[in-house]
Structure 1
Amino acid sequence: MSGGWNTIESDAGVFTYLLQNLGAKDVQFEELISLDSESLRQQSPVYGVIFLFKYPTDEKPSDKPKDGTFDHDAAENIFFAAQTIQNACGTQALLSVLLNKDGDIDIGAPLRDFKDFTTAFPADLRGEALSNSDLIRETHNSFARSSPFVDETQRTATEDDDVYHFIAYTPINGKLYELDGLQPAPISHGDCSFEEFPDKVIPVLQRRIERYPVTEIRFNLLAMVRDLRIKAREIGDVEWLQREEQKRTSWQWENALRRHNFIGFVGELMKGVVKQKIKEGTYDQWVEEAKTKTRTRYEERRKKGVADDI
């Protein structure tokens, strides 16, 4: 890996094993399909959520957030770090929840040492310390997709590119906070106990989504929750436990695949297929059938409003 930070996917398996590899115990992420309080409450205890959205690159900095209020005093009393480097926002959002739940969650010795080391730092120096942490950067980069084409640390976004950003929401000291390293301070959304979090955070998320055109559907929400295998064992639900174990196995397999690119293999495979089609005299027919199927799938996805990337 290079010395920079690579992009990672908004995926429950990626973020769960990020937690584990950073040293946190008995905690995981679950993806939320529906944006309602009941769905979130069913995952209880919920320590916080990470929200992925299309970042408005033309938005100008403001002394006042569009929702909530800046809490500059809280920036020194809770773990809040300014984002000082590109592509780090996913892991930074994860740590914004995790390090503010030390005590409720066993965050592990390495992260506890990091938190203790940066406690007296202002937000900008915390961000620098996070960006320069070999443990955090290398763990983050271990989940980046392998690509023979693009080095994300060298890539420069253009005006036509879609830029996505991760932020965190979590209850701390009786307040609901939005923790975004691109903002000057934590954003308070009012009083909120740990138990009230599912009911209080959903309206905040809904208001944020309502700022976008109705055609924009590329959002993703991950909840940081207690390891569901523990809950399954506590109630003696063997089938649930088996499903969770199978899910972990699947996540491990998918994460392993992310570390490899198969471009060379696919290229050689396609050469062999093309050679065989030409030999059989069916190459042109095969190409036309593939074009027709691709057009059909594209039209079906367009009618359903399914995004091609997120």
Structure 2
Amino acid sequence: MSGGWNTIESDAGVFTYLIEKLGVKDVQFEELITLEPDELRQAGQVYGVIFLFKYPTGESRSDKPKDGSFDHDAANDLFFAAQTIQNACGTQALLSVLLNKDGEVEIGKELREFKEFAGEFPPELRGETLSNSDLIREVHNSFARSSPFIDETQRTATEDDDVYHFIAYTSVNNKLYELDGLQPAPISHGPCTVDQFPDKVIPVLQRRINRYPATEIRFNLLACVQDLRIRAREMGDEEALEVEEQKRNEWLWENALRRHNFVGFVGELLKGVVKDKLNQGNGAYEKWVEESKAKTKRRGDAQKSGGDQ
């Protein structure tokens, strides 16, 4: 393999522009705040959901899932890939939805060719093919948060680490499937048409969350939906269209910031401030340092006394 995979955030803007760079058209992601079927339905045409949760590092595969049932034959009828590399699960989850919606969704030339090529393989080889795709890896890594201090590709999780995992839920062939590359096969949660998906998937997610302690709140749910600007244009809703365009502009700005670290900038800014103080002369630099020390001490004293500064 020619390179590693970096971690990406569970963020609607990241996922939306990631799939656009892969060639997918007229699809976006929306973060869901509540586990309510109505909220999911309000997102319009729903293709699936991506669920992020804390993964128990000591957990291993079993012959029977904790909910639903393994459908080993389904891997021949839908796209299911084993996860073979760390940090790729976010992109793998969104592809688990989109590659199973080819026909409903315009996935683009590159992903269609990838699906046709890898689709003939068993899940393990599909996972290897995905992990070794230069295109998919490079697009994935282009949305990783820049960090000058940590090389995520070299980090290995231990029992004490918080490890998070992405999985997908979607309706394929009128069944609700959980697609998790760390499991040996797709997990069926019973009959489910596309229209029934919001009502069927929410109870499954609720049962999964209920397996965690009540204090565990670190979950994130993203819906894969038709571009909301399409519905706004069809309805002639100029206000909704403006909101969606503004959201896209904000996502672009946030994604641009993710690609840069500002350590160098902050360092140069600090050097400029110090140089300015030194150039002022008359002890300005020493006075500035002493004032800063005094302010820091006041804050510390206030925090110890329970006050606010």
TM-score, normalisation: structure 1: 0.91
Matched, 1:159 2:150: no
Cα distance in 2 between the residues matched to 1:44 and 1:4: 36
| Contact 2:26-2:226 at 8 Å conserved across structures | yes
Instruction: State the Cα distance separating 1:290 from its structure 2 match.
Output: 5.0
Alpha-carbon RMSD across the aligned residues, in angstroms, is 2.1
1:104–1:293: structure 2 CA closer, same or farther, 3 Å change rule? farther
Letter of the structure 2 residue corresponding to residue 128 of structure 1:
E
Answering whether residue 84 of structure 2 is matched by residue 84 of structure 1, we say: yes
Between Structure 1 and Structure 2, whose CA radius of gyration is higher?
A: 2
- Following superposition, the deviation at residue 293 of structure 1 comes to 8.4
Q: For residues 226 and 212 of structure 1, do their structure 2 counterparts lie closer, same or farther at Cα, with a shift above 3 Å needed?
A: same
Where do residues 1-310 of structure 1 align in structure 2 (5 Å cutoff)?
A: 3-270=3-270, 278-280=286-288, 281-291=290-300
CA distance in 1 between partners of 2:298 and 2:122 (Å): 60
Residues 112-139 of structure 1 deviation map (CA, whole Å, 9 limit, x = unaligned)? 0001111211000000100001110000
Q: Give the structure 2 partner of residue 302 of structure 1.
A: none
Sequence identity of aligned pairs in percent? 73
**AA of the residue aligned to 1:279:** K
Write the distance in 2 (CA, Å) between the matches of 1:262 and 1:108.
35
Contact (CA 8 Å) 1:76, 1:123: kept in 2 or not? no
How far residue 60 of structure 1 moved from its aligned partner, in angstroms, is 2.7
C-alpha contact (below 8 Å) 2:94/2:168 kept by paired residues: yes
CA distance in 1: counterparts of 2:248 and 2:109, whole angstroms:
24
Is this contact kept in 1: 2:52–2:220, CA < 8 A?
A: yes
Flag the 1:132–1:238 CA change in 2: closer, same or farther, 3 A: same
Equivalent-residue separation in structure 2 for 1:50 and 1:149 (angstroms): 29
Q: Which amino acid aligns with 2:131?
A: S
Q: In structure 2, what is the Cα distance between the partners aligned to 1:165 and 1:247?
A: 26
Structure 2 Cα separation of the partners of residues 151 and 181 of structure 1:
24
Tell me the SS of whatever aligns to 2:72: coil
Task: Give SS of 1:189's match.
Answer: strand
Distance in 2, matches of 1:248 and 1:25, equals 14
Partner SS state of residue 153, structure 2 = coil
Of 247-256 and 287-296, the range deviating more from structure 2? 287-296
Q: Is the 8 A contact 1:71 1:188 kept in 2?
A: yes
Partners in 1 of 2:23 and 2:298 — Cα distance?
A: 50
For residues 216-249 of structure 1, the C-alpha deviation after alignment (integer angstroms, 9 at most, x for no partner) is 1000000000000111101011111111111101
Q: Residue 33 and residue 155 in structure 1: after superposition, are their counterparts in 2 closer, same or farther (change >3 A)? A: same
Cα deviation, residue 156, structure 1 = 1.4
User: How far apart are 1:48 and its partner, in Å?
Assistant: 0.1
Residue type of the partner of 1:36?
E
User: Is the partner of 2:34 in helix, strand or coil?
Assistant: coil
Quote the offset at 1:269 in angstroms.
3.5
Q: Distance in 2 between matches of 1:218 and 1:295?
A: 30
Rounded to whole Å, the distance in 2 between the matches of 1:262 and 1:182 is 36
Could you give the per-residue CA deviations for residues 89-148 of structure 1, whole angstroms, max 9, x where no partner exists?
Answer: 000000000000000000001000001111211000000100001110000000001111
Where in structure 1 do 4 or more consecutive aligned residues deviate above 3 Å? 267-278, 288-297
Gaps of 5+ in 1: 300-310
C-alpha displacement of 1:32: 0.4
Change in CA separation of 1:234 and 1:205 when aligned onto 2, cut-off 3 Å: same
Gaps in structure 2 of 5+ consecutive residues:
278-283
Tell me, yes or no, if the aligned pair for 1:277 and 1:283 is still in contact at 8 Å. no
Q: How many residues align?
A: 297
8 Å contact kept, 1:53–1:219: yes
Q: How big is each residue's C-alpha offset from its partner over 1:161-215, in whole Å with a ceiling of 9 and x where there is no partner? A: 1000000000000100000000000000000000000000000000000011111
| Secondary structure in 2 matching 1:93 | helix
Q: Distance in 2 between matches of 1:74 and 1:295?
A: 60
Task: Give TM-score scaled by structure 2 length.
Answer: 0.91
Contact kept in structure 1, 2:58 and 2:159, CA below 8 Å? no
Distance in 2 of aligned mates of 1:108 and 1:294: 56
